[in-house]
Amino acid sequence: MEDLHTATRQYVHLAVLDGTDALGVERISAAAAVSGGVQRRGRLPRHASAVGQIPLAHAGEAQFAAVVQDGLARLTPGTITDPATLRLTLAECRRTGVAVVHEEVSPDAHSVAVPGTGSTGRVVAASSVVCAVARTRLLVPAVVPAGRGISRGLGASAVP
């Protein structure tokens, strides 16, 4: 996380699953960086945050059903609130290995996240960079290796 923060000078965030939310467990931020609407030990909805979409994309149908069961709360005009759209977004996360979110949690916050896998190969966390510009795809080359390092730290034996 420190290397990613040094490379991007943006808000860097690590979250784990907690029920139907993503729970922020660590963050590093520059004074002028966008926070993405979460503080350390803060909660983000899994449907609207990049760090929530990554583990949801790799969870089973029961987890998806639990997240959409009570409806998908609209936090901003950009928040995904349609289950079918969310399902397509999660399929794209699985295909590309990253989640890219634009202004779904808070205005002017754009993020890109990657999975953190544990020793069983299961996605147990996600790390992200949050910034104020919509060019988050440019951050993918920095975020992917950071996610691999986090996975190794979590005990993953094979990191793609």
**pLDDT tens across 1-57, in order?**
888 888 888 889 899 888 888 898 888 887 666 655 554 457 888 899 999 999 999
Q: Which two tokens stand for residue 44?
A: 């983000």
**CA pair distance 13, 111, nearest whole angstrom:** 10
Those residues with Cβ within 8 angstroms of residue 18's Cβ, 6 or more apart along the chain or in another chain = 43
The answer to whether 103 and 130 are in contact (CB under 8 A) is no
For residue 127, give the nearest of 106, 109, 145 by alpha carbon. 145
Q: What is the pLDDT of residues 97-140, one digit of tens each?
A: 999 999 998 888 899 999 999 899 899 999 999 988 877 888 89
Cβ count within 10 A of residue 67: 22
φ, ψ for residue 52, nearest 5 deg = -90, -40
pTM: 0.88
